[in-house]
Amino acid sequence: MSQHEVDGIASNGRVRVGEQRPGGRAARVRSDVLAATATLLNTVGYEQLSIEDVADEAGVHKTTVYRRWSSKAELVADAVRRNAEQAVPMPDTGSLLGDLQVLGRNVVANIGSEGGSLRSRSIVAASTGSDELMAELHSFWAERLATSEVIVDRAIERGELPDGTDANLVIEAVVGPIWLRLLLTGEPIDADFADRIADLVAAGATVR
């Protein structure tokens, strides 16, 4: 273990090392572990994922993982967070409809693939039996919805939407039906569906 790594976590046991030293070894280790976690979630799902396998996949010792994440639920939530930031970035197309279409298409691509479906379904399933994982998921979603507000804020600035539009409602209306298909109805999840739901929601928000 390098002195840098020790310093990186010494000041605070729960500190996100990668946020302190974006270019350092600690940040690389963190990134590798989260990428390995995402890979395993996409291939074996939540229940079968073990810290040992994550460490193997990331090429680090398992104590390195245990030192940074206090539990599997916390590690998985961080992996989900990082995955969402990369796979579902907030669009800025210049129009509400364009932004909601891109958002919907990115969600479709992220959870509709074979790996994304396994990851997403297995985490939801496990959360019903784990208060800790459920709390992590709720935090993740609160952050994502807050991040997504920028889409509505910009539409208000452009005069496309009235002041006071409920940003969360607009985002939930686009994202909810996609998850409904994944978790309940089993109907196809594709870009066409994302476009149609974005159309409906953009039209509904605009006339209000």
Instruction: Note the residues at the interface with a second copy (CB under 8 A).
Output: 121-122, 124-126, 128-129, 134, 137-138, 141-142, 145, 166, 168-170, 172-173, 175-181, 183-187, 196-197, 199-208
3-class DSSP state of 208: coil
Q: Which residue has the tokens 């810290």?
A: 51
Judged by beta carbon, residue 85 or residue 131, the one nearer a second copy is 131
Q: How far is the CB of 187 from a second copy (least distance, A)?
A: 8
Give the span between the Cα atoms of 170 and 149, in whole angstroms.
Answer: 9
Structure token pair of residue 139: 């935090």
Q: Which is nearer to a second copy, 61 or 208 (CB)?
A: 208
Nearer to a second copy, 55 or 171 (CB): 171
Residue with tokens 């600690």: 26
88 Cβ contact partners less than 8 Å away, ≥ 6 residues apart:
103, 106, 107, 110, 144
- CB 23 to a second copy: min, Å: 34
CB 34 within 8 A of CB 78: yes
From the CB of 109, what's the least distance to a second copy, in Å? 18
- Residue closer to a second copy (CB basis): 145 or 156: 145
Name which of 67 and 121 has its Cβ closer to a second copy.
Answer: 121
> From the CB of 122, what's the least distance to a second copy, in Å?
6
CA distance 2 to 45: 33
CA 204 – CA 208 distance, rounded (Å): 7
CB of 145 to a second copy, least distance (A): 7
**CB closer to a second copy out of 50 and 185:** 185
The span from the CA of 27 to the CA of 5, in Å, is 9
Provide the minimum distance between the beta carbon of 180 and a second copy in the complex, in angstroms, as a whole number: 4
The H-assigned helical ranges of 59-113 are: 62-68, 72-87, 96-112
